[in-house]
Structure 1
């Protein structure tokens, strides 16, 4: 019987190490393929999520624009109501004190005319 020599043992161990390295390389390749596939799937999912969020953002912006138009109309209506109230108050004051109202209006007209005449001469 032949006894294995130290050289034979080294060769056998190196052969086994090579076999393990080959298996490790194969496993690493599979892991990389799996990681690339998972990353690609995550990228597709992320892209779909970004598109959905952008679409939702656009819809929310349109809704805000529509609400802005309604809000502007509300503000205009409120200003018109205040203007009507002011005119009604002035009409009530004129009915209550017609002479005083005429005097104030006359004085205001006279002052405006005076200012207009003096402003035209300065130019």
Structure 2
């Protein structure tokens, strides 16, 4: 089974978090190392921080792209459920047209009564 956009989104966000944690760790190591070691250690730590931040940015971008796909999946599922509901209602109307008309008429009458009684309170 192929991973969904939602699964990919979660993976990419997890990777972004890991990269940020690594960047923070490297940054603190670089600061500690700078106190005891010369500028070479600082330059190496800076390069590692930049690398991890770049990786984090790439993972974040990938997560955003997967987020769009995940949103499309959710909309498609909702649309399918809506179509199923409409199809079920259409089937019910075809099977029992008189009962369906009666229910629709009663619902309209109740809504009209509620609308009229709600307008007089203002």
Normalising by structure 1, report the TM-score.
0.69
Q: What runs of 5+ residues in structure 1 fail to find an aligned partner?
A: 1-35
Helix, strand or coil at the partner of 1:77: helix
Counterparts of 1:1-123 in structure 2, within 5 Å, are 38-123=37-122
**How many residues align structurally?**
89
Give the root-mean-square deviation of aligned CA atoms.
1.8
CA distance, structure 1, for counterparts of residue 116 and residue 84 of structure 2: 34
Structure 2: runs of 5 or more not aligned: 1-34
Moved over 4 A (4+): none
Q: TM-score w.r.t. structure 2 length?
A: 0.69
Structure showing greater relative contact order (alpha-carbon pairs closer than 8 Å, 6 or more residues apart): 2
**Greater Rg by CA:** 1
Question: Structure 2 vs 1, CA of residues 103 and 39 (structure 1 numbering), >3 Å: closer, same or farther?
Answer: same
